[in-house]
Amino acid sequence: MNFMRTYLLMIIFLVSVKEGYGQENKEIIKLSITEAQTYALQNNRSVKSAKIDIDVATKQVKESVAIGLPQFNVAGNYLHQFVVPELSFGQYLDVNALPDIGYLTKDDFTNAYKQSPTIPLGVRNNTTFDFTVSQLIFSGEYLVGLQAFKVLKEVTEKAYLKTEFVTKESVADTYFMILVLAESYKVLNASLESVSQTYNEMVKMNQQGFNEETDVDQIKISQSNLKRLLTSIQSQKEISLKLLKYQLGMDFNQQIALTDSLQQFIDEGNMQYLVSPVFDVLKSVDYQIVSDQVDVSSLLLKREKSKYLPTLSGFYRHQEQTNVPSFNFAVKDVVGASLNFPIFTSGQRNARISQARFNLQKAELNKEDATQGLIMEFDTALNNYQTAYNNFITNKESIILTKKVYDKSLIKYHEGVSTSFELSQNQTQYLTAEAAYYNSILSLLNAKAKLDRILSTN
């Protein structure tokens, strides 16, 4: 009885675990484009790496600041001497060794001289501990270097922002691609159903002798082409979904559903970019990065020049010995200062200053080039968007017209007025217009994503 009860409990447990696991696998994460971008900013590996760079830069600034703060060091030294040096004062007259009675002879005096005991000038084993506190009082190189590290940290923070903007653009491009493929698949699938229905009707008509076999074959070719296109689109969609999950930093096995529609993005872009927006290059994160790099190069030049200045530092040292010798000349407490004044380096400093000056000139040229490049990038992106919008309007009209022609030719074919070749030709024309239409949508949305990234500010 107990065995049966245990067996039933195990079955219930396993079934509940299996159901829970199945529910976990079936869980679908629904994402709007904003939610997808937010998810990517939290989980994308490139963004995480860029954030680690900020943490490293922060620690580097703290490290550089610490150089100018008081330093406390403890040093221990153990010394073993195989032969300890000794000090001797030679012979001395021991009056107690002279005879108490009688006359003192020369031999009495000679015998009264004795060798004085030796005094060790050290110890055989000794351990010394030095406690030192030092403080940098003045260093031009340190002060300028500290400023340079702070600016480098700002560059790292700007690079992190740029990584975020690029990641958001990449996620948007892939998100748009999936929506376009899904919409295209839906339309093609509807066309396939229509063609398949026509094919089935033509097969029956051919069996009754109302049409030629070539007519059936022509429609069969159209049906096969549509199936091939659908398979290709489905494959592209699966790859795009994997790419999106990769950009999000998400596991490939996680199921996701996109909740936004194509039309809302088209309308949103039209309101923003059909009227030319204002682009302030000074607010661009790319401009700010190159501008900070000029500041860094300027500080590095200043740092090389500061090496002509002296360096002043002070220290306090305390020494303790575990085995103090009889004669100990070591001073326990010492206070001092150190002044280092560079005089002659055989032209090394001048060469380094020249290199730093050249690097500053390059940084300034890069800043000018980046400024012009960013303005050109914005103008090009805006022009591409407006061109893509015009193509979108043209292709939208084209797909309406070709669909209208195809539907009429389908009716005419059923009425026996049109041939299968004309039907197939009109269908090909419609599918070509459809492909151009969805490509123009993708180009339009990609241009919008690029403008969003260019106009992003911190």
pLDDT one digit per residue (tens) for the chain, 458 residues: 444 444 444 444 444 444 444 444 458 999 999 999 999 999 999 999 999 999 999 998 888 888 888 999 999 999 888 888 887 777 777 677 777 766 777 777 777 777 777 777 778 898 999 999 999 888 888 888 888 888 989 999 999 999 999 999 999 999 999 999 999 999 889 888 888 887 787 788 777 776 677 777 888 888 898 899 999 999 999 999 999 999 999 999 999 999 998 888 888 777 778 877 889 999 999 999 999 999 999 998 998 888 888 889 999 999 988 888 877 777 888 999 988 888 877 788 889 899 999 999 999 999 999 999 999 999 999 999 999 999 999 999 999 999 899 888 888 877 777 777 788 888 888 888 988 999 999 999 999 999 999 998 86
Burial class (CB in 10 A: 0-12, 13-18, 19+), 405: middle
In a domain, 324, yes or no: no
Look up residue 211 and give its amino acid: N
SS3 92: strand
In a domain, 198, yes or no: yes
In a domain, 125, yes or no: no
Look up residue 434 and give its amino acid: E
C-beta neighbour count of 48 within 10 angstroms: 14
Q: What distances in angstroms separate CA 400 from CA 192, 395, 430, 443, 445, one per listed residue?
A: 18, 9, 9, 19, 21
Q: What distances in angstroms separate CA 44 from CA 34, 358, 456, one per listed residue?
A: 15, 38, 19
CB 353 within 8 A of CB 305: yes
In a domain, 124, yes or no: no
CB 427 within 8 A of CB 405: no
Contacts of 55 (CB under 8 A, 6+ apart): none
CA-CA distance, 162 to 160, in Å (whole number)? Answer: 5
Q: Indicate the number of domains in the chain.
A: 1
CA-CA distance, 350 to 361, in Å (whole number)? Answer: 17
- Quick one: tokens of 166? 């690029």
Question: Which residue range forms the structural domain that includes residue 293?
Answer: 28-85+137-310+348-454
C-beta neighbour count of 381 within 10 angstroms: 22
In a domain, 22, yes or no: no
Residue 34 sits in a domain whose CATH number is 1.20.1600.10
CA-CA distance, 179 to 442, in Å (whole number)? Answer: 9
SS3 249: coil
**∠ Cα 445 448 452 (to 5°):** 140
**∠ Cα 231 232 233 (to 5°):** 95
Look up residue 171 and give its amino acid: V
The residue assigned the tokens 């999000």 is: 248
The pLDDT of residue 355: 93
Helical (H) or strand (E) element with 133: strand 125-139
- Residue 339 DSSP class: E
Q: What distances in angstroms separate CA 285 from CA 72, 106, 362, 424, 439, one per listed residue?
A: 42, 105, 20, 53, 31
Contacts of 118 (CB under 8 A, 6+ apart): 86, 87, 88
CA-CA distance, 364 to 350, in Å (whole number)? Answer: 21
In a domain, 123, yes or no: no
CB 26 within 8 A of CB 252: no
CA-CA distance, 344 to 315, in Å (whole number)? Answer: 26
- Quick one: tokens of 418? 């049109």
Q: What distances in angstroms separate CA 424 from CA 129, 217, 440, one per listed residue?
A: 97, 11, 24
The pLDDT of residue 22: 45
CA-CA distance, 242 to 458, in Å (whole number)? Answer: 30
In a domain, 168, yes or no: yes
In a domain, 64, yes or no: yes
Q: Which of 156, 141, 155, 154 is nearest to 301 (CA)?
A: 141
